[in-house]
Amino acid sequence: EEQIYRIDHYLGKEMVQNLMVLRFGNRIFGPIWNRDNVACAVLTFKEPFGTQGRGGYFDDFGIIRDFMQNHLLQMLCLVAMEKPASTSPDGVRDEKVKV
């Protein structure tokens, strides 16, 4: 069990992987991207495809369950969390759960 690394596959997308660098490693965004300067964040789910061929999947699981409860919540956490003490998986997770 300790050797298994579970990840939401959406977190493997390049832009998602770069969010922490954009937020915490950028001299412009780093100092101002925080709860004192940001009033709200809007996450928009827009994909260039429909449910063609996946209707049965969404009928069984639902698009809210598929995207919102994992992909969009992961994105929200990356956008809203404080800077983690370390970039280790545990350090990032500890900040995400605070959101």
* Residues spanned by the domain of 89: 9-46+54-96
Helix (H), strand (E), coil (C) string for the chain: CCCCCCCCHHHHCHHHHHHHHHHHCCCCHHHHCCCCCCCCCCCCCCCCCCCCCCHHHHHHHCHHHHHHHHHHHHHHHHHHCCCCCCCCHHHHHHHHCCC
Residue 70 maps to a domain = yes
Tell me the pLDDT of the chain (99 aa) as tens digits: 777 666 666 777 788 888 888 889 989 988 898 889 999 888 877 766 666 666 666 677 776 776 777 788 888 898 899 999 998 889 999 999 999
Would you state the pLDDT for residue 91? 93
Residue 3 maps to a domain = no
Residue 72 maps to a domain = yes
Please give the tally of structural domains in the chain: 1
Would you please indicate which residues are annotated as catalytic (active-site) residues? 71
- The Cα-based distances of 59 to 64, 69, 90 in angstroms read 11, 16, 34
Residue 31 maps to a domain = yes
Residue 2 maps to a domain = no
**Which pTM value belongs to this model?**
0.70
Residue 82 maps to a domain = yes
